[in-house]
Structure formats: C-alpha cells, structure tokens
Amino acid sequence: MFTTTIQWSYTLYTTDSVPEWLNEHETVLVAEEGREVVGVAAFYWFRDAMKRPGYRFTVENTIHVREDQWRSGVGRKLMRALLQEARAIGRHTMITAINSANEGSIRFHEQLGFLEVPRMPEVATKFGKWLHLVLHQLRPSASSR
C-alpha cells in the first residue's frame, strides 16, 4: 500500500500508530479469515465535521482488502456492512476519494451505487508524479445494492 498510489501516505502503520488510526474513525469493520485480517473498512468525518458541524451527516470511507482476497466478495460484504452502519447512526452521505489510476476501486464503488462527482487533477503527488483525485458520493439511506 505504501509502495503504490492507492494510499497517499508515506508512513507505514505500526503497532503503536494503529490505536490512533482507529480513534480517528467513527466506525471500523474488520474481515477475518481464520485468525488473519483480510480486509478493513471504515468511515470518518468528512472535512473535519467537529470544526465544521454542517458536515456532521457526511462521512468519508476507506476500504482496504488484502490483494489475495480481491474479487472474493470480502470488500462487498465490508462495504454493505459499512453502509448499513452509516444508515443506522443517521449518516446522510458517504464520500470516497480514489486515485484516478485505481480503476478497480472506482468500478467497485460504482457497482455499489456510488456516483462520480468531481475529478480533481493534480491535487497530490507521490513518487514524483502528480495524482488526480476522483470523488464518488452515495446516500446510504438510498442505497440498496
């Protein structure tokens, strides 16, 4: 993940940093196979809703599935559960922000009903390349996929 542009961070997660990551997210779901984590899906406040309460009903999701589990259904199950959780606690809109080169993730979210809103060219850089951001939006209360 840190050797790709899937995530725009350069810092690896460590045992010490995981609790902080968990605390930054409102909801975190984990998929396990046997005793191993094979996927994680979470959502957190969009645009710092604590400082900007007008955004308090909007969240941004993140999902990571271990590569050997891609196309196994793990991601779809995690996202359905994540959307159900968002509905249950009254979240109105879920946003996802994806690198434009990550066509698999874009298709995955669109198959779940997310609609592309803007494309934002050259908003970040990693490995000396400019990256383009694609935002998708879904209202969990309206999703049924």
Topology, domain 18-142: Aminopeptidase (3.40.630)
Rounded Cα gap, residues 118 and 97, in angstroms: 10
How do residues 25-45 score in pLDDT, each as one tens digit?
A: 899 999 999 999 999 999 998
Rounded Cα gap, residues 19 and 116, in angstroms: 32
Does 139 score more than 60 pLDDT? Answer: yes
pTM: 0.85
Q: What is the pLDDT of residue 121?
A: 95
Q: Where are the domains of the chain?
A: 18-142
Averaged pLDDT for residues 9-19: 74
